[in-house]
Amino acid sequence: MLKLETRPEPSRMMSVLSPLLALAITVLIGVVLFALLGKDPLRGLQAFFVEPVKSVYALTELAMKATPLLLIALGLAVCFRSNVWNIGAEGQFIFGAIFASGVAMMAGKDTSRLIVVAILLAGVLGGMLWAGIVAFLRDKANASEILVSLMLVYVADMVLSYLVYGPWKDPNGYNFPQTINFLAVTQIPKLATGFRVNIGLLIALACVALFWLFLFRSYAGYQLQVGGLAPAAARYAGFSSRKALWTALLLSGGMAGLAGALEAAGPLGQLTPHVPAGYGFAAIIVAFVGRLHPVGIVFSAILMSMFYIGGELAQSRLGLPKSLTGVFQGLLLFTLLACDTLIHYRVRWVARHATARAA
Amino acid sequence: MDAFALLIAATLNAGTVIAFAALGLLINERSGIVNLGAEGMMLVAAIAGFAAAVHTGSPWVGLGAGALAGALLAAVFGLLVIWLNTNQYATGLALSLFGTGFSAFIGIRYTQERLPERPPLHIPVLGDIPFIGPALFRQHAMVYIAIALTIALAWFLYRSRAGLVLRAVGESPESAHALGYPVRRIRLLAVMVGGALCGISGAYISTVYTPLWVEGMVAGKGWIALALTTFATWRPARVLLGAYLFGGVTMLQFHLQGEGVQISSQLLTMLPYLATIVVLVLISRNATWIRVNMPASLGKPFFPGS
């Protein structure tokens, strides 16, 4: 029978190989799934892995979808590294979008283009506020950040729907639950005409560098991670776990809020009940598949964004439900966690009688 | 007065939904394992149960299918966590994310289907008592099964040998292992029973509670059930009471809407989630109380003989 043997030290090679192995298994399951549904697996694979990269326009669309995932996952990586389980990024994303929209709707015809800065800052603030509640309740009352952050997703969703059905509803919107279309001046600047991708991409890439510096070259980042890996050692060294909690949550909340602002004032250009698209949850997978490393997260955000676009294509071309995206995303995380076992353990074949004797 | 009796009846029914999942998670957590996949298991079980009920016409078959689906998913989670030693939080989360996508994926062809509304049981004599009858004795059988299950579980945990072993495994897997108990198999069994009960809860939602399938219809009840185990400090009777409390909050919201109270429906829909946070905060404030009651090895990995 198979037996796991602890490796003397974690295998570096496996920690790089495991996401690739997980992806291979997920693709394999995908092929089987397509075949079971009577669809051509090759066409399915094409929709997910070829079409999203086959033209410049397709690539910019891929980058646009990857941007929010990248931003949110960077923040979540800091959280998970410091052992803070913020899984309510979706709610922080929604609040970022709400705050940003609040500012965007103040724009008049004389408003300066600088309002974009205010919109983005408002988004960051909104996300930080929503994550701050989690930090506060964890800090002051020891309430599980997992459950509180998640409950706040549902609350944020209801706040959003209250606003777009109520006070913020566009009076000329034919009774649709949505705000007015934001004025052109509030639009996040695009990178090139003819494409939807905007400066959010550049901001996200800059954040990758900043988060790399913070995590691996700063004392504060170091303190945070020690607290996550070895709480006792961190206490002994005098590193504050409270500080780590607040830093991780405010940072990740701010990043999710920024992503929300970029989405609302970017491709959407208004606030609707469809603002939450599950990016906050998908970013959890992005963070793990990217090994909680800023550079790894770039790759996994692109991969996850391929899943989104592939899911839409599978719907229009193959007549499959769009939720296929979620199936593959979930599967990828599942298989990744299983494959990660290989980092810490070696699989050995042990004859049955030998184990019986050992036991 | 009759409306009040109906409110009580509805509260018990809504509480029953959460009670099954929360009792399942209680067994699960008593073995020392946290399964954040409850929401995903409930969603998959909801569609599995609904589909089975549509095809067979029997909600009981639906509940069975839900239990099976929940147990199977829990088994996958259990194998990963217990044998491959993966992180419990991350794996549970993966299960929830997968379940959300998977249920939506297979559920799409059932969005047009409807199941007949089930008339509640009418228990003769008791059901005819004024006020008390409509409030307590005209319910679906599952409402009474939940109460029986709670009593059985309390007996199992505190009065039976097997329950003692389960608690030992959750408190100190090392000692239980040293005494010769198969810790990993016991944990897997507890996780699967937990999954089956979460599955029953999910299928109850889609076959009896609101007999139809809507994407994401579990709407956080799995997470609320997780919060309930903490709230109840891992005790069956308190889990049931907690479930009724949340059922009451959920029903109060509909009741207020029905009465035409001038509060926006969105703010009312928030109530159960806000209540969960408030209760969680109130309970968690007393850290020692939680620590004394919590299974000591909850969430910690155990890997024998390596």
**Inter-helix orientation angle B2-30/B161-171, to 10°:** 70
Greater pLDDT, B113 or A146: A146
Inter-chain contact A154–B220, Cβ cutoff 8 Å?
yes
- Work out the minimum CA distance from B263 to partner chain A, whole angstroms: 11
Average pLDDT, chain B: 91
Chains A, B: CB contacts within 8 A come to 149
**What pLDDT is stored for residue A346 in this prediction?**
84
Answer yes or no: is B36 within a domain.
yes
Please tell me which of the candidates B36, B281, B303 has its beta carbon nearest to residue A143. Answer: B281
Inter-chain contact B98–A154, Cβ cutoff 8 Å?
no
Inter-chain contact B281–A359, Cβ cutoff 8 Å?
no
- Work out the minimum CA distance from B101 to partner chain A, whole angstroms: 4
Answer yes or no: is B16 within a domain.
yes
User: Mapped to the 3 state alphabet, what secondary structure does B60-72 carry?
Assistant: HHHHHHHHHHHHH
**Per-residue pLDDT tens digits of chain A, which is 359 residues long:** 677 888 888 888 888 899 999 999 999 999 999 999 999 999 999 999 999 999 999 999 999 999 999 999 999 999 999 999 999 999 999 999 999 999 999 999 888 999 999 999 999 999 999 999 999 999 999 999 999 999 999 999 999 999 999 999 999 888 889 999 999 999 999 998 889 999 999 999 999 999 999 999 999 899 888 887 887 888 888 888 889 999 999 999 999 999 999 999 999 999 999 999 899 999 999 999 999 999 999 999 999 999 999 999 999 999 999 899 999 999 999 999 999 988 888 887 777 655 544 44
Backbone dihedral angles phi then psi of residue B285, each to the nearest 5 degrees: -55, -35
Q: Are A307 and A322 in contact (CB under 8 A)?
A: no
Please tell me which of the candidates B86, B108, B264 has its beta carbon nearest to residue A162. Answer: B264
Q: Are B190 and B33 in contact (CB under 8 A)?
A: yes
Burial class for A90, CB neighbours closer than 10 Å (0-12, 13-18, 19+): buried
Q: Which of B61, B85, B43, B32 has its CA nearest to residue B195? A: B43
- pTM of the predicted model as reported, rounded to 2 decimal places: 0.93
- Give the C-alpha separation, B30 to B157, whole Å: 9
Q: Residue B44's closest chain A neighbor by CA?
A: A327
Q: For B211-260, how does the pLDDT look when each residue is reduced to its tens digit (9 = 90+)?
A: 999 999 999 999 999 999 988 999 999 999 999 999 999 888 878 877 77
Q: Are B63 and B207 in contact (CB under 8 A)?
A: yes
Query: For chain A, first and last CA: distance in Å?
Result: 13
Among the residues of chain B, which ranges form H helices? 2-30, 38-56, 59-78, 88-107, 132-136, 141-159, 161-171, 173-178, 183-204, 221-231, 236-258, 265-284, 287-293
Q: Which residues in chain B are contacts of A155 at CB distance < 8 A?
A: 270, 273-274
A192-221 exposure pattern, b = at least 16 Cβ within 10 A, e = fewer: eeeeebbbbbebbeebbeebeebbeeeeeb
Element (H, E) at A127: helix A115-141
**What pLDDT is stored for residue A359 in this prediction?**
43
Please tell me which of the candidates A4, A151, A321 has its beta carbon nearest to residue B223. Answer: A151
| Token representation of residue B117 | 């509304």
For every residue of A220-244, DSSP letters joined together read HHHHHHHHHH-HHHHHHTT--HHHH
Q: Which residues in chain B are contacts of A85 at CB distance < 8 A?
A: 89
Q: Residue B222's closest chain A neighbor by CA?
A: A147
Inter-chain contact B93–A284, Cβ cutoff 8 Å?
yes
In this prediction, residue B290 has a pLDDT band, given cuts at 50, 70 and 90, of confident
Q: Which of B234, B209, B277 has its CA nearest to residue B12? A: B209
Q: Residue A156's closest chain B neighbor by CA?
A: B270
Q: Residue B80's closest chain A neighbor by CA?
A: A338
Q: Which residues in chain A are contacts of B270 at CB distance < 8 A?
A: 154-155, 158-159
Q: Residue A330's closest chain B neighbor by CA?
A: B98
Instruction: Compute the radius of gyration of chain B from its Cα atoms.
Output: 19
Please tell me which of the candidates B91, B95, B280 has its beta carbon nearest to residue A148. Answer: B280
Q: Which residues in chain B are contacts of A151 at CB distance < 8 A?
A: 220, 223-224, 227, 273-274, 276-277
Inter-chain contact B94–A334, Cβ cutoff 8 Å?
yes
Inter-chain contact A345–B85, Cβ cutoff 8 Å?
yes
Pairing of strands A345-349, A2-6: antiparallel
Inter-chain contact A165–B270, Cβ cutoff 8 Å?
no
| Token representation of residue A347 | 């699989």
The domain limits of chain A are 1-39+329-359, 57-319
Burial class for B130, CB neighbours closer than 10 Å (0-12, 13-18, 19+): exposed
The HSE-up count of residue B54 (CA atoms within 13 Å, CB side) is 17
- CATH class as words, domain A57-319: mainly alpha
In whole angstroms, how far apart are CA B14 and each of A148, A158, B19, B138, B205?
A: 22, 21, 9, 14, 9
Q: Residue B290's closest chain A neighbor by CA?
A: A142
Q: Residue B286's closest chain A neighbor by CA?
A: A141
| Token representation of residue B236 | 């069956």
Residues present in chain A in total: 359
Q: Residue A4's closest chain B neighbor by CA?
A: B306
Q: Does residue B216 come out as left (phi exceeding 0), alpha (psi in the -120 to 50 range) or beta?
A: left
Answer yes or no: is B9 within a domain.
yes
Answer yes or no: is B77 within a domain.
yes
Q: Which residues in chain B are contacts of A358 at CB distance < 8 A?
A: 305
Count how many domains chain B has: 1
Answer yes or no: is B92 within a domain.
yes
The HSE-up count of residue B261 (CA atoms within 13 Å, CB side) is 14
- Give the C-alpha separation, B197 to B16, whole Å: 12
Q: What angle do CA A51, A57, A59 make, to 5 degrees?
A: 60
Please tell me which of the candidates B86, B223, B303 has its beta carbon nearest to residue A337. Answer: B86
Q: Which residues in chain B are contacts of A144 at CB distance < 8 A?
A: 227, 230, 280, 284
- Give the C-alpha separation, B234 to B25, whole Å: 9
Inter-chain contact B97–A85, Cβ cutoff 8 Å?
no
In this prediction, residue B306 has a pLDDT band, given cuts at 50, 70 and 90, of very low
| Token representation of residue B231 | 């709230």
Q: Which of B299, B241, B281, B277 has its CA nearest to residue B86? A: B299
Burial class for A183, CB neighbours closer than 10 Å (0-12, 13-18, 19+): middle
Instruction: Compute the radius of gyration of chain A from its Cα atoms.
Output: 22
Q: Which of B211, B229, B213 has its CA nearest to residue B276? A: B229
Q: Residue B128's domain spans which residues?
A: 2-293
- Most A CBs within 10 Å: which of B184, B273, B278, as the mutation test of the A interface? B273
CATH (domain of B259): 1.10.3470
**What pLDDT is stored for residue A4 in this prediction?**
80
Please tell me which of the candidates A4, A151, A161 has its beta carbon nearest to residue B273. Answer: A151
Inter-chain contact B85–A334, Cβ cutoff 8 Å?
no
Q: Which residues in chain B are contacts of A337 at CB distance < 8 A?
A: 80, 84, 86-87, 90-91, 94
Q: Which residues in chain B are contacts of A334 at CB distance < 8 A?
A: 76, 80, 91, 94-95, 98
Q: Which of A224, A274, A252, A259 has its CA nearest to residue A130? A: A252
The HSE-up count of residue A232 (CA atoms within 13 Å, CB side) is 0
- Give the C-alpha separation, A334 to A29, whole Å: 12
Q: Which residues in chain B are contacts of A323 at CB distance < 8 A?
A: 101-102, 104-105, 108, 215
- Give the C-alpha separation, A44 to A30, whole Å: 8
User: Mapped to the 3 state alphabet, what secondary structure does A47-104 carry?
Assistant: HHHHHHHCCHHHHHHHHHHHHHHHHHHHHHHHHHHCCCCCCCHHHHHHHHHHHHHHHH
| Token representation of residue A76 | 């979540």
- Work out the minimum CA distance from A30 to partner chain B, whole angstroms: 13
Q: Which residues in chain B are contacts of A324 at CB distance < 8 A?
A: 101, 105
Q: For B31-89, how does the pLDDT look when each residue is reduced to its tens digit (9 = 90+)?
A: 999 999 999 999 999 999 999 999 998 989 999 999 999 999 999 999 999 999 899 99
- Give the C-alpha separation, A331 to A224, whole Å: 30
Inter-chain contact B93–A333, Cβ cutoff 8 Å?
yes
Q: Which residues in chain A are contacts of B215 at CB distance < 8 A?
A: 323
Evaluate whether ipTM surpasses 0.85.
Answer: yes
